[in-house]
Structure 1
């Protein structure tokens, strides 16, 4: 467990909190001063992601695109606090591409020399650093926000003091978005001036657009069942409650399995990475939920959900931004907003949920099976609704967001 993890949940009244806060702020001020004084290399780009632990999300796909297309122009560096990632990924310094460990001299000097730093979460991606105006910081984020985030969320400050606010408040030079409405929402949530929120599209969705035309066959070698009909159930994370799969009073696992057998389909369950998926149903404790044609598809199995989405025929979700990405594939969506009222009261949503979700909102086992059945036989159903919402949330569908981000960097030189 990292030092960051240990201090995140200290009680507000703990005597150690304020000394740590003072120390942390001193470190940030000192690093910002050193960063201002340090000479920059215009062609050095540093990428981070998922609290410094994994090569994933928008940062991963942008990193790969810059290696593929701009290796003659830029040095691309992945910075991480996961030593095994340094050793296993890009350990051999290929042409202008490498990975470095943050808490090393090489890592610190790389951060100080970099002209551009990419984030996908916040200060937790690269803790204990703060950059001066000489360094361009770009927030790639990790999903088109449907629920309230940042300063707009309804959750009151916990009675417990949290260092997370201090770890996630870098003043980004730019924050990317996917459309005009997303740009407005992002500016509202982040508190950034709207001219610093730029519409580029998401690099991870460049991959989806490419895969829609020609899906990769590599994943089929490991998971041959993906050649069948695939239904993915991927709800969002809930701060105050454990996410429930199949929260139906009439839940019947046998009926779902019979449906899957009849249609030669598989149902994949994917919990949020911060959720611990239970293998049992809360209302029915007579056996494991997964098995046979119901398969756990957690991040331990599919580390990157973007690689799975091109093989998904129907997506079931709720308030997660995964369904916004999935719109680019123009395939059926089913929604299970079983706790919509409490979720809106606690966290809050940025939009009218029933206006922006282009698919049935179901609340029973019977409705779920009927919706899946209808979409399997007629996947074009609701295609016009999906197209309308897709135009709202995706300005670009060309798979070229990396080029637009490249143009931003070039203008900043």
Structure 2
């Protein structure tokens, strides 16, 4: 009986989600017609991220750049989270609740919409006729969108998402090797995927340009204190299951012993939907669960420890050792799938169990044996523009607006 109720609940939630997308598509089509008559203001840009839930990722860094360096453009952050709106305002920027009258009006009037996941970061229904810049939120190592779970949805839901995907006028890929994957996974024409650096690379490439720009000053202070005591290893795992405890996947006690020997410290950055409950008795393990923006703190990582997260691509810009812990590689490959051959791509040892993880991490802290491999991947995988990434992305969006081509 419980299993049947659970199936019905899942079906109901799926149906509601499909209906919401369909209504959003209809609203988008109507506002597109309306704004062809009324017009939009190309000097007003609205920004959002992660379904409106936070002030993070590529949208955040481009927003800060535009607000601080491009006075000719009115930059507005929209969010469905009141705390996020308050945080952005406290930092001196313009922000509104996405569903407030002011937020809805600005969405209808803005000439450009900048998002990290999709139009629902701001509003699907009210963005018709605007230039849509989807900056995305990572290099697709594992399959995404239509190449993953979305491809298994109902025909109607797939059609609705195809409609939404076609509204993207510009999609950013930081790597020429990921253009095809971005196009097929997100369902956008390949010519709309531009090879541009992610704005969230700003603190990694030109840290002086964004000095003091972190949302969580307390976290920065804590990390600075830890780094003064020794090197920092950042563990940034891929999301697996909501509510999961990372302590059930990793032997943190064994790592704690190694870190004591190497005078290093492990900083664990769980996914927002996961946790680590077993760090209180460990001397060299700190949980960084209050920080939502990895780019702001990644420069503190002397060594990156991850599994299938594209955070390793960002970390390449720092030219520091990386270790990969993948005890469920075969299972993950069978269930989710990769665009690349995982073992050949990642620029560091792949540890299948806790014992090899300790060994690989010790080598990374003492020898850095994969430095040449890491640098070769950086040269072939990433495009170096030589300037602040946000300036490049801003110029591309400005050029798209000036061309006047909006889908």
Q: Same fold (TM over 0.5)?
A: yes
Q: Counterpart of 1:59 in 2: which secondary structure?
A: helix
Match of 1:113 among 109, 112, 133: 109
- Deviation, 1:320, is 0.6
Q: Does the CA contact (< 8 Å) of 2:139 and 2:313 recur in 1?
A: yes
Task: Report if aligned partners of 2:46, 2:78 keep a CA contact under 8 Å in 1.
Answer: yes
User: How far apart in 1 are the matches of 2:304 and 2:149?
Assistant: 28
Alignment pair present for 1:85 and 2:74: no
Aligned to 2:6: none
Say if 1:10 and 1:162, in contact at 8 Å, map to a contact too: no
Residue-by-residue CA offset, 1:240-289 (whole Å, 9 max, x unaligned)? 994755747xx4x544222222222111222222x321414xxxxxxx57
Deviation at 1:78, TM superposition (A): 0.7
Distance (Å, rounded) in 2 between the aligned partners of 1:397 and 1:323: 19
What pairs with 1:265-276 in structure 2 (closer than 5 Å)? 265-273=264-272, 275-276=273-274
> Could you tell me which residue of structure 1 aligns to residue 314 of structure 2?
325
How much does 1:232 deviate?
Answer: 1.1
Structure 2 CA distance, aligned partners of 1:297 and 1:60?
Answer: 20
Give, in whole Å, the separation in 2 of the partners of 1:15 and 1:235: 31
Distance across 2 between alignment mates of 1:238 and 1:101: 30
User: Any residues of structure 2 matched to 1:372-383 within 5 Å, and which?
Assistant: 372-379=361-368, 381-383=369-371
Is 25-34 or 182-191 further displaced after alignment? 25-34
Report matched runs for 1:342-361 at 5 Å: 342-361=331-350
Tell me the residue number matched to 2:227: 226
TM-score by length of 2: 0.84
- Confirm or deny: 8 A CA contact 1:50 1:120 kept in the other structure: yes
CA contact (8 A) 2:270 2:276 kept: no
CA contact (8 A) 2:139 2:173 kept: yes
> Using the alignment, how far apart are the partners of 1:214 and 1:111 within structure 2?
27
Q: Partners of 1:21 and 1:408 in 2: how far apart?
A: 29
Give the whole-Å Cα distance in 1 for the aligned partners of 2:83 and 2:267: 29
Maintained 8 Å contact 1:127/1:167: no
Distance 1:362 1:43, change over 3 A: same
Match in the other structure for 2:182: 186
Partner of residue 210, structure 1 = 206
Shift of residue 17, structure 1, vs aligned partner? 7.3
Instruction: Give the Cα–Cα distance (whole angstroms) in 2 for the partners of residues 128 and 334 of structure 1.
Output: 39
SS in 1 for 2:139: coil
Corresponding residue for residue 238 of structure 1: 240
Q: What's 1:58 paired with?
A: 58
SS in 2 for 1:338: coil
Report if aligned partners of 1:52, 1:80 keep a CA contact under 8 Å in 2: yes
Aligned-partner Cα distance in 2 for 1:164–1:215: 44
Q: Which has the higher helix share?
A: 2
> How far apart in 2 are the matches of 1:222 and 1:117?
35
Deviation at 1:33, TM superposition (A): 3.1
Query: What is the alpha-carbon distance in structure 2 between the residues aligned to residue 135 and residue 15 of structure 1?
Result: 28
Deviations 1:5-62 (A, max 9, x none): xxxx751598877766665554343333333333211211111112112111001111
Partner of 2:285: 294
Measured after TM superposition, the shift of residue 409 of structure 1 is 2.7
Deviation at 1:337, TM superposition (A): 1.6
Spell out, residue by residue over 1:298-320, the C-alpha distance to the aligned partner (whole angstroms, 9 max, x if none): 2x1x2321122111111111111
Aligned counterpart, 1:3: none
Aligned equivalents of 1:213, 1:108: Cα separation in 2: 32
Q: Indicate the RMSD between aligned Cα atoms, in angstroms.
A: 3.2
Residue 389 of structure 1 aligns to a residue whose secondary structure is helix
CA distance in 1, matches of 2:87, 2:208: 29
d(CA) in 1 for partners of 2:17 and 2:391?
44
Q: For the residues of structure 2 that align with 1:320 and 1:401, how far apart are their CA atoms?
A: 21
Match in the other structure for 2:39: 39
Are the counterparts in 1 of residues 256 and 282 from structure 2 also a CA contact under 8 Å?
no
Per-residue CA shift, 1:56-110, capped at 9, x if unaligned? Answer: 1001111111122212x21111111122333342269x6xx51122112211111
Deviations 1:360-389 (A, max 9, x none): 11123332222222222223x211100121
Contact 2:170 2:397 in 1 (8 A): no
The CA distance in 1 between the partners of 2:195 and 2:315, in whole Å, is 19
Residues 89 and 95 in structure 2, CA contact (< 8 A), matched pair in contact too:
yes
- Aligned partner of 1:305 in structure 2 is 294
Aligned to 2:5: none
Task: Report the equivalent of 2:138.
Answer: 143
**Structure 1 Cα separation of the partners of residues 367 and 341 of structure 2:** 27
Distance in 2 (CA, whole Å) between partners of 1:343 and 1:222 is 34
For 2:70 and 2:268, how far apart are their aligned partners in 1?
A: 37
**CA distance, structure 2, for counterparts of residue 77 and residue 344 of structure 1:** 40
Instruction: Count how many residue pairs are aligned between Structure 1 and Structure 2.
Output: 385
8 Å Cα contact 2:232-2:266 kept in structure 1: yes
2:251 aligned with 1:262? no
CA–CA separation in structure 2 for the residues paired with 1:77 and 1:103:
14
